[in-house]
């Protein structure tokens, strides 16, 4: 039964991401988003740790001390900021690099869908920004990515989905500068 519930959850999540991606013109990314969740490595863990209110990867991490499914997922899906790390020539440490805009936008759609799925009827268009602000991930992302993500999630909260998606399609994905880049 858990496997079926997990399948329904990830399929609903993918449908919501696809819907958002299609609205802004990211058709291919909408189609291929999170296909790795159906792989044996990710799906079996998802079914085993399924709870319905949060990512099964968190439960796997609590149980084992790490999440094999998450490591598999983040290494194959460019809409996760964790994918965008590399060895710095200067420091010889792993450091984040700025995300390309199309993956930044897919990340917005991914976060929107995750909040909608896990929060259900309690979802509000500020949930994504609240999650960002209350998490430690801001310190792990490239500062440019954080600034752009915060801008888009604030716009989503304050101006709504229709205006935010319009802005993404007409400005962000066309490479036009963000407001602070024109100063």
- The 10s digit of each residue's pLDDT in 35-73 is 999 999 999 999 999 998 889 999 999 999 999 999 999
Torsion of CA 125, 69, 104, 100, to 10 degrees: 180
Print the SS3 string covering 35-65: HHHHCHHHHHHHHHCCCCCCCHHHHHHHHHC
- The 10s digit of each residue's pLDDT in 116-174 is 999 999 999 999 999 999 999 999 999 999 999 999 999 999 999 999 999 999 999 99
Long-range CB pairs of 176-182 (<8 Å, 24+ gap) are 178/147, 178/148, 178/151, 179/151, 180/147
Query: In this structure, is residue 90 part of a structural domain?
Result: yes
Query: In this structure, is residue 7 part of a structural domain?
Result: no
Q: Residue 148 belongs to what domain range?
A: 77-181
Query: In this structure, is residue 174 part of a structural domain?
Result: yes
Domain total in the chain = 1
Query: In this structure, is residue 142 part of a structural domain?
Result: yes
Query: In this structure, is residue 68 part of a structural domain?
Result: no
Query: In this structure, is residue 10 part of a structural domain?
Result: no
Q: What 3-state class would DSSP assign to 4?
A: helix
Query: In this structure, is residue 14 part of a structural domain?
Result: no
């Amino acid at each position: 039964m858990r496997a079926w519930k997990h399948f329904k959850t990830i399929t609903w999540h993918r449908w919501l991401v696809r819907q958002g991606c299609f609205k802004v013109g990211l058709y291919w990314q909408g189609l291929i988003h999170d296909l790795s969740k159906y792989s044996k490595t990710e799906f079996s863990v998802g079914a085993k740790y399924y709870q319905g209110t949060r990512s099964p990867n968190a439960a796997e991490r609590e149980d084992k001390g790490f999440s094999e499914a998450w490591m598999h997922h983040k290494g194959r899906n460019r809409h996760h900021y964790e994918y965008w790390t590399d060895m710095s020539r200067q420091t010889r440490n792993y450091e984040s690099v700025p995300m390309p805009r199309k993956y930044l936008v897919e990340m917005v759609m991914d976060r929107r869908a995750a909040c909608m799925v896990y929060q259900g009827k309690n979802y509000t268009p500020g949930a994504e920004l609240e999650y960002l602000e209350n998490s430690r991930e801001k310190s792990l992302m490239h500062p440019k990515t954080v600034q752009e993500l915060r801008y888009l999630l604030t716009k989503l909260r304050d101006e709504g989905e229709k205006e935010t998606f319009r802005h993404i399609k007409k400005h962000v994905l066309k490479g036009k500068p963000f407001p602070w880049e024109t100063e």
